[in-house]
Amino acid sequence: MTKTTHTNDDGVASSVRAELARRQTQQAQIAELLGLSEAAVSRRVNGFVPFRADEVRKIADFLDVPLTSLLPAKAQA
């Protein structure tokens, strides 16, 4: 049986998930932006796989939000 765990990147995933919801943006759009499958984006958005720094930057640019808005508070300190 496979154990499913979240990464330590849950803060970024949570922030990305919230911003996508606020802007009514589909994960399919993010998948296309990042050149990933929708399943790969889903794993990142749900905190099972960490986002890479370049992916977070692209998402922030795409959503027209400051990069820091997608980072957990402890990463900004």
Domain ranges of the chain: 10-67
Please report the pLDDT score of residue 1 as a whole number.
46
Please report the pLDDT score of residue 72 as a whole number.
80
Instruction: Compare 55 and 11 and report the one with higher pLDDT.
Output: 55
Please report the pLDDT score of residue 74 as a whole number.
64
Rg of the chain in Å (alpha carbons): 12
Residue 55's identity, in one-letter code, is E
Under a CB-based contact definition with an 8 Å cutoff, are residues 69 and 14 in contact? no
Question: Which residue intervals of the chain are DSSP H helices?
Answer: 10-22, 27-34, 38-45, 53-63, 73-76
3-class state of residue 75 by DSSP: helix
In the CATH scheme, what is the code of domain 10-67? 1.10.260.40
pLDDT over 90 at 5, yes or no: no
- Percent pLDDT > 70 in the chain is 83
pLDDT over 60 at 61, yes or no: yes
